[in-house]
Amino acid sequence: MRLRPLPHLALSIASAIALIPTVFMLVTALKAQEEYQADKTGWPDAFVFDHFRQILFDTPIFLWMANSLILVAGSVGLSLVVACLAAYAIARMEFRGRDAILTVSTALMAVPPVVLIVPLFVLYTRLGLISTYGGAILIYAGLITPFSVYLLVTFFRSLPQELIDAAVMDGATHLQILMRVVLPLSLAPLLTLVIVNALFVWNDLLMAVIFLQDDAKKTVMAGIAVFQGRYNNQIPLTMAGMAVAAAPMLILYLTFQRHFVRGLMAGAVK
């Protein structure tokens, strides 16, 4: 019993450390440029909200957000469809090579996206997919699908076999079992994948800069990166942009926080 406060203390310290970048971002965003240059880490003498006004009204940040939302919706939706079908086949169907497919899919999670840039850029240039939403969606869907398959396979295997057997006895096909039995029980891991994958696509900068070169199709992160250079590296202004950009994903996470935690634990206990 005496040791119980120690884990809580450790978690509190870890949480405080994790919040430092966010607090620094918000504090810096509320500083005047001159005050930031004089004292980069101190608390502002007075909160300045003009940087947020400039971000919201003097930049096309809502266009950038709309572009990011298109990529998030397209890539996450496509990935979930493919991952659900693949995970069910691997977890609940008998066929030669299914373990090898899962092994290869899991191994793909270790491949850094940067090694794919050159071959993808050459291929997309030949196919005319540079600066297209469809091309970017395919890239992001390919990057996030391996983890989605892995998580769903783990969860699908944890479901009671009796449920599947009962559906088979009622004459249900595999697709009907997936749609009517498995997926309704998989809300937590599915929402977890939506949150994790949406965060990845929304926050990505590398692929967005390389494969979406049209200014009208810039994502929010690519737009802020360019915006920073155009405004002479004004850090408080950039931090305000980052705070605004982080708001949608923060709201998404807070809305489905409980499902997110349950989804991460999915399949851990049968």
pLDDT of residue 1: 43
Q: Which residue has the higher pLDDT, 188 or 229?
A: 188
Torsion of CA 256, 261, 265, 267, to 10 degrees: 0
As a whole-number percent, the residues of the chain with pLDDT over 70 amount to 92
CB 188 within 8 A of CB 263: yes
Span of 23-32, 125-134, 184-193, 224-233 with lowest mean pLDDT: 224-233
Q: How many CA atoms lie within 13 A of 112 on its CB side?
A: 4
Q: Which amino acid is at 140?
A: Y
pLDDT of residue 263: 62
Torsion of CA 113, 15, 186, 153, to 10 degrees: 40
CA distances 31 to 211, 225, 234, 237, Å, are 34, 20, 11, 9
Region class of 128: left (phi > 0), else alpha (psi between -120 and 50), else beta = left
The 10s digit of each residue's pLDDT in 81-106 is: 999 999 999 999 888 888 899 999 99
Candidate ranges 43-57, 128-142, 153-167; pick with highest mean pLDDT? 128-142
The 10s digit of each residue's pLDDT in 35-87 is: 888 888 888 888 889 999 999 998 899 999 999 999 999 999 999 999 999 99
> pLDDT confidence of 231, banded at 50, 70, 90?
low
CB 186 within 8 A of CB 194: no
Integer Cα distance of 237 and 224 in angstroms: 10
Which residues, including other chains, have CB under 8 Å from residue 147's CB and lie 6 or more apart? 109, 193, 196, 197
Arch. (CATH architecture) of 57-264: Orthogonal Bundle (1.10)
Looking at every residue in the chain, the average pLDDT score rounds to 88
pLDDT of residue 261: 66
Q: What is the mean pLDDT of residues 244-265?
A: 80
Angle between the N-to-C axes of helices 61-92 and 133-158, in degrees from 0 to 180, rounded to the nearest 10: 40
pLDDT of 258 above 80: no
Would you list the domain boundaries of the chain?
1-48, 57-264
pLDDT of residue 232: 61
- DSSP class per residue in 143-195: HHHHHHHHHHHHHHHHS-HHHHHHHHHTT--HHHHIIIIIGGG-HHHHHHHHH
Q: What is the mean pLDDT of residues 229-246?
A: 81
The 10s digit of each residue's pLDDT in 194-222 is: 999 999 999 999 999 999 989 899 999 99
Q: What is the mean pLDDT of residues 20-46?
A: 87
pLDDT of residue 32: 87
CA distances 228 to 218, 220, 235, 262, Å, are 14, 12, 8, 38
pLDDT of residue 202: 96
CB 180 within 8 A of CB 205: no
> What are the tokens at 35?
């005050």
pLDDT of residue 228: 64
Q: Which amino acid is at 141?
A: A
CB 235 within 8 A of CB 28: yes
pTM: 0.87
pLDDT of 269 above 80: no
